[in-house]
Amino acid sequence: MVTMETLVSLCKRRGFVFQSSEIYGGTGSCWDYGPLGVELKNKIKRVWWRDFVQQRADMVGLDASILMHPTVWKASGHVDHFTDPMVDCLECRHRFRADQLDEMPWVHFCPATKGNKFTIPAEETCPHCHERRTLCPDCGKGELTPPRQFNLMFKTFMGPVEEDAAVTYLRPETAQGIFVNFENVLQSMRRKLPFGIGQIGKAFRNEITPGNFIFRTREFEQMEIEYFVNPHDTVEGRPADEHWHDRWIEDCLAWFRRYGVQAENLRLHEHERAELAHYSKRTADLQYRFPIGWSELMGIANRTDFDLKQHAKWSGKALTYFDEERKEHVVPFVIEPSAGVDRALLAFLADAYREEEVRGEKRVVLRFHPELAPVSVAVLPLLKKRDDIVRTAHAIRDELSRHFTAVYDDTAAIGRLYRRQDEVGTPYCVTVDVQTVGDTDRGEAADGKVTIRDRDSMEQIRVEASQLVAVFGELIGGKSWAEVSARVGRS
Ligand code: GAP
């Protein structure tokens, strides 16, 4: 498994992710997506939106505002309950989440070895004095304060006056924007239950201990679905909400598998009763084996009718659905698949990373699914001194870029260019050479063909340049290299 240090370094070196405001020393836990990172992120969001919102007849989309009426957060329970227990070290002033202290390695000055300093792995006792951690895990010297509850919402003021009446919050989840628009969508789109509303957008949490690169940050993006179900319906003899909960768990798992995440790196974690959020009847997390260990990639919760009932109570508006068959108003139950875009990106990145040996040399390759790769096709001239080759390569890139993400690169020899594209996960390279354009001095006619190189097998085929759009349409659209290359012809 690749380490987080390796990924962070590759992301910076190759333009995926940069530390935010780096020239000023960086902003804690904020990251900027560079030229390749933004392509990867946009592609993840695009396929999620296409697969879960556009292609499903039972789904519609929404883009609600980040700043909402402050009462939304009273009704949702975030003002009162969206807190983490926080402790401070009285010596080094570092701050920790009280419930995560046992999951951290800890610094220890061991009395049994004349005060020698050791770093003891999480949850272990000192092998010399057999003590457990009681002091600050970072400095090993300071007492910790008793836990205090800390609200994770970012406060801000609406309008020019900074007074209590103007306080509002940056949304800590996109979900509430969907609940408060339930009635609008129901009426405007004439929906019948079950149906869902999907949304992608930024969320903000003033995390006490952000970290592990883009895994836990204070500003992040979510891809959320609220799927509304009639609680009185049954499907295959089971309550409809329970049936749809299982269906969404399967669909989410299948989605990550479809875009290449290896089965052995995905697992489900059922929340124990004590772990459940106040609104949840059942929650299952999809966990990924991140470089930091098994951790939550996304959650799929049965939020019952909690949110709609709360917003009805606080707004005074009836948020119900009229069940024509039973001639009654019902408050739908809600199944919520909720994924972090940044966490999904980290999982796709870690899963794609390979170090291979090719002819005695190390090759680093990101085996991204072709639909997710930040660059779909790189067009490379074999000789950058030949104007006609360079011109042809630019023309091919221009044509391909109308359909795919295509780049041109002539800044190194061809072997180096291939390696560079491997390292950023480009599934296909196109090379333009002398045969493509011909050589009048030698009386050789142009054959109009180019070489396509496949990232994973490193095989090459020669095809008519005029066929490239069609060939990449098939390859990026899901056909295998083996199938397409066998038909188009091996070099
Ligand atoms: N609406 C439900 C909800 O927000 P959550 O488990 O708190 O549930 C859902 O968040 C997903 O959002 C998580 O599974 C994770 O992928 C992502 N997420 C949550 N907090 C995050 C953070 N601080 N940084 C990055 N991603 C985060």
The answer to whether residues 85 and 98 touch, using CB atoms and an 8 Å cutoff, is yes
Distance in Å, CA 250 to ligand 1 centroid: 19
Average pLDDT score, the chain: 96
Query: For a substitution probing ligand 1, which of 220, 248, 303 has the most ligand atoms within 8 Å of its CB?
Result: 220
Share of the chain residues as helix, strand and coil, in percent rounded to the nearest 5: 35, 30, 35
State the Cα–Cα distance between residues 315 and 318, nearest whole angstrom: 9
| Residues paired with 366 in a beta bridge | 353
- pLDDT tens digits, one per residue of 428-442: 999 999 999 998 888
Residue 476, pLDDT > 90, answer yes
The answer to whether residues 311 and 319 touch, using CB atoms and an 8 Å cutoff, is yes
State the Cα–Cα distance between residues 423 and 355, nearest whole angstrom: 10
Residue 491, pLDDT > 60, answer no
Distance in Å, CA 224 to ligand 1 centroid: 10
Ligand 1 atom nearest to 285, measured from its CA? 14
Please report, to the nearest 10 degrees, the dihedral formed by the alpha carbons of residues 432, 438, 439, 442 taken in order.
130
- pLDDT tens digits, one per residue of 359-394: 999 999 999 999 999 999 999 999 999 999 999 999
Sheet holding 282-290, edge to edge: 59-62, 195-204, 219-229, 333-340, 293-304, 282-290, 266-270
Can you tell me the mean pLDDT for 206-228? Answer: 95
Can you tell me the mean pLDDT for 21-29? Answer: 91
State the Cα–Cα distance between residues 451 and 468, nearest whole angstrom: 10
Query: For a substitution probing ligand 1, which of 174, 296, 336 has the most ligand atoms within 8 Å of its CB?
Result: 296
Q: Report the percentage of the chain scoring pLDDT > 70.
A: 100
Residue 452, pLDDT > 60, answer yes
Nearest CA to ligand 1 atom 22: 216
Q: What angle in degrees, to the nearest 10, is found between the helix axes of 341-352 and 35-49?
A: 110
The answer to whether residues 392 and 435 touch, using CB atoms and an 8 Å cutoff, is no
**pLDDT value at position 165?**
83
The answer to whether residues 256 and 297 touch, using CB atoms and an 8 Å cutoff, is yes
**pLDDT value at position 490?**
53
State the Cα–Cα distance between residues 22 and 30, nearest whole angstrom: 10
- CB neighbour list of residue 257: distance below 8 Å, 6 or more residues apart: 263, 266
Residues in the chain, how many?
Answer: 491
**pLDDT value at position 151?**
94
State the Cα–Cα distance between residues 352 and 480, nearest whole angstrom: 17
Distance in Å, CA 297 to ligand 1 centroid: 8
Query: For a substitution probing ligand 1, which of 213, 222, 261, 266 has the most ligand atoms within 8 Å of its CB?
Result: 222
Closest to 31 measured CA to CA, from 426, 349, 420:
349
State the Cα–Cα distance between residues 228 and 387, nearest whole angstrom: 60
> What are residue 375's phi and psi, to 5 degrees?
-115, 125
In the block, tokens 């011909």 appear at 438
Closest to 396 measured CA to CA, from 469, 491, 453, 326:
469
Residue 474, pLDDT > 90, answer yes
How far is the CA of 346 from the CAs of 11, 111, 471, in angstroms? 10, 41, 30
Residue 489, pLDDT > 80, answer no
**pLDDT value at position 97?**
92
Can you tell me the mean pLDDT for 472-483? Answer: 96
Q: If pLDDT is split at 50, 70 and 90, which confidence band does 27 have?
A: confident
Nearest CA to ligand 1 atom 17: 340
State the Cα–Cα distance between residues 194 and 226, nearest whole angstrom: 11
Distance in Å, CA 412 to ligand 1 centroid: 42
End-to-end CA gap in the chain: 35
Ligand 1 atom nearest to 174, measured from its CA? 1
| Residues paired with 445 in a beta bridge | none
Kind of pairing between the strands at 238-239 and 234-235? antiparallel
State the Cα–Cα distance between residues 176 and 68, nearest whole angstrom: 9
**pLDDT value at position 441?**
85
State the Cα–Cα distance between residues 111 and 293, nearest whole angstrom: 32
**pLDDT value at position 267?**
98
**pLDDT value at position 161?**
87
- pLDDT tens digits, one per residue of 400-418: 999 999 999 999 999 999 9
State the Cα–Cα distance between residues 415 and 73, nearest whole angstrom: 56
Where is pLDDT greater, at 221 or 489? 221
Threshold 0.85, pTM exceeds: yes
Residues with CB under 6 A from ligand 1: 173, 175, 205, 207, 216-217, 220, 222, 224, 296, 298-299, 336, 338-340, 342-343
- Alpha carbons within 13 angstroms on the beta-carbon side of residue 356 total 16
User: Is residue 18 exposed (0-12), middle (13-18) or buried (19+ Cβ within 10 Å)?
Assistant: middle
Can you tell me the mean pLDDT for 200-211? Answer: 94
Q: If pLDDT is split at 50, 70 and 90, which confidence band does 94 have?
A: very high
**pLDDT value at position 42?**
98
